[in-house]
Amino acid sequence: MRVAIVYYSLTGRTREVAREIGNVLEDLKYRIDYFEVRPVNEYPRRLAHINPRVIKDTLSSKVIDIKGIESFNPSNYDLVIICTPIWIGRITPPIRSFIELFKDKLKTPVICITTSNIKRGYSTKFKEYLKSRGIKVVAHASLTNINEAKEVARVLIRKLSDLMK
């Protein structure tokens, strides 16, 4: 099975989660391709939570210019995993922009994963957002730390195995 893991990470935490999930899948002989979505005009890491552009872009439904997905073709994959941090209770602008760009092309089943400091079921909101865009979500998870990534990956593998039967 060929899997695309698409993620955005400003601080590196979501990247670490995406890579950990990918490592578990690779150990099970899945073929993994990683796509790190980046804003063309990257957000500052320092004090990002109070940066006016971060706040404006996050609270609006504005699509921003992104890069890092130039070679992404959803039809090449059996599954797409999308990982995003949560900012101000919402998915990040780069991931929202990725979804808007590919919503009509993403016919492959999707797993959505959120990372945040608080476990609030953000992935449920993310799943509903994806479904409202016509994307088939087969599983979702909210993570608060890297240690959860391996176990979540195993649970997702079990769900996938059941779906493939």
Where are the domains positioned within the chain? 2-164
Calpha distance 117→120 (Å, rounded): 9
pLDDT greater than 80 at residue 112: yes
Q: What is the reported pLDDT for 162?
A: 66
Q: Which phi and psi (to 5°) does residue 65 adopt?
A: -75, 130
Domain 2-164: which topology? Rossmann fold (3.40.50)
Q: What is the reported pLDDT for 63?
A: 94
**48-78 pLDDT tens trace:** 777 888 889 999 988 999 999 999 999 999 9
Q: What is the reported pLDDT for 159?
A: 72
Q: What is the reported pLDDT for 161?
A: 64
Stated pTM of the model? 0.91
Cα dihedral 101, 103, 108, 114, rounded to 10, equals 80
Q: 144 near 119, Cβ under 8 Å?
A: yes
First to last CA, the chain: 14
Higher pLDDT, 162 or 102: 102
